[in-house]
Amino acid sequence: MTSMVLKRVLQKGLLQPCFEWRVAGHSARIFPVCYRCHESAEGTSYFDLYHEWVEKFRKANIPEEYESAGFITAHLLGYKTFSVIPSRDLRRSVTDRELDAFRRMGECRLARMPIQYVIGDWDFGGVNLKMAPPVFIPRPETEVLVDHVKNEISKRVKAQSPIKMLEIGCGTGAITLSLLNAMQSVSLQGVAIDASEHAVGLTKKNAHHLNLSYSQNLQILHHKIGVDDDDVLMDLGPFDVVISNPPYIPTADMDNLPEEIARYEDHGALHGGRNGLDVVKAILSTCTKLLSKDGVLWMEVDSSHPRLINALFDDWKIDSHRDMYGVARFCRFLRSKDVDAN
């Protein structure tokens, strides 16, 4: 029954004593609830539980209290978001086991665990990925980087086959796996490396879950750029496209991280040294050996970096690009100033 129809029914007085309108979610969805039925005869409903936890989160100053309770509710009911849950599911009463599961997840969120770790998976660039602390949670800006790289690969398809792609610092596998998934019609060989064993394990798990691990087109390696011997990577290259979202937060900014990030995410995935460029420099130095002659490197950086990078690395041809918020966030590097593949 749509809310318009239900409103008319209520105005005519057909259902009146038993219904009230409640507001749900940050988008203030008006939701009809039969309070008499679900509160007395049927015990606690999912809707009650949702409201109870919004209130708990609000009192404890947990950011995004509606979204937090909404994602937990949706997860336990088998939906992606709160707004798509049918009202019959929200009205049904919870079992003891469900109550317990909600409480456990709610308590994790009360301890400031990011909601992505609480529910254990998240969508990125068209794929669903397992999330687990302390592996870096992919951010929406990085989807813009993936779009740039998709365009770059599409333009190079005619000239080169197969395209060899390397990702440095793969985390959950978000960039490499979303690209391989979206570009299955292209002959693309991916190598994804990370300095963290946790990240390598999670990328492998996600690749398997997405049925991308069977392919000969993907290798996932434990490797620390700037420390481990690059011969292993040189044997797999040269690469046509290198992508990285490296740790790039300057030291001074590490003290101002939200608690969710500071407590749960690997600081090795965040901290880029004094001015945030330690790993960026190591990547550029290694890429002089790993990139093919007209190869391209795409990197996500701090908004303070494009200017610094342009000044520091004058032997590269560098363009910067903005994210969806208009922030200069991505740099595209070509090895030689004389070469532009496009």
Ligand X SMILES: C[S@@+](CC[C@H](N)C(=O)[O-])C[C@H]1O[C@@H](n2cnc3c(N)ncnc32)[C@H](O)[C@@H]1O
Where do contacts with ligand X occur on this chain (CB under 6 A)? 136, 138, 142, 168-172, 174-175, 193-196, 199, 224-226, 245-247, 266, 268-269, 279, 282
**Half-sphere CA count of 99, side-chain side, radius 13 A:** 10
> Are 31 and 62 a contacting pair, CB within 8 Å?
no
> Are 109 and 50 a contacting pair, CB within 8 Å?
no
Least spacing, CB of residue 332 vs ligand X, in Å:
17
Distance, CA of 31 to CA of 117 (rounded, Å): 28
Q: Which is nearer to ligand X, 113 or 149 (CB)?
A: 149
Least spacing, CB of residue 268 vs ligand X, in Å:
5
Least spacing, CB of residue 271 vs ligand X, in Å:
9
Q: Which two tokens stand for residue 309?
A: 């990078």
Q: Which is nearer to ligand X, 99 or 236 (CB)?
A: 236
Instruction: With H, G, I as helix, E, B as strand and everything else as coil, classify residue 91.
Output: helix
Least spacing, CB of residue 56 vs ligand X, in Å:
30
Q: Which is nearer to ligand X, 196 or 206 (CB)?
A: 196
Least spacing, CB of residue 236 vs ligand X, in Å:
15
* Residue number closest to ligand X, CB atom: 169
Q: Which is nearer to ligand X, 43 or 134 (CB)?
A: 134
Alpha helices in the chain (DSSP H): 3-11, 35-36, 46-59, 65-77, 87-91, 96-110, 115-119, 140-156, 174-182, 197-209, 231-236, 259-264, 278-290, 305-312
Q: Which is nearer to ligand X, 70 or 169 (CB)?
A: 169
